[in-house]
Chain A
Amino acid sequence: MESQDISPHSIADRTGNVFRFGPHTPSYECRNVTKPVLSRRSFVMVLWLAPLTLLIHGNGWLNSGYSCRPALFCRKV
């Protein structure tokens, strides 16, 4: 069987074609496989975004739903 190039700088598709990336290719494309789901940079960003989002939308979220005033002129029958 023909061996496939499995170096970090190549990707093989199911047909066995090998796509090679030149030195100008951004490195993250090739390192995606081993990259953690959330990089440290993204994690720090999320840490900042979470309270910010809560600050902007929190009031609306907390007050949403059916927590509003009892309706007048209504009675149980």
Chain B
Amino acid sequence: MSDTCFNVLINVLRGIQPDLAERSIAREDSMVVLGIDSVDRLEVLLLAMEELHVDASLTRFHGAANLGELADMLHACRTG
């Protein structure tokens, strides 16, 4: 399951943007909709990859439409 990856993403996201602490975040939410700028989005991904011990090219994560899809991609890297 990619739940672990999703939870890591949410924790990293809230660490970077504490003003999201009280907001519920769903798999269907995108970081763009949450107001995260392009560089912060990269930082979230890099920190999540570090925590999940994922070593992959950033280009592999292009096209993720929302946090759920991004979590699935991270999960695929861990198991693939």
> Is B a genuine binding partner of A?
no
Q: Taking beta carbons and an 8 Å cutoff, which residues of B are in contact with A?
A: none
Residue positions of A touching B, CB distance < 8 A:
none
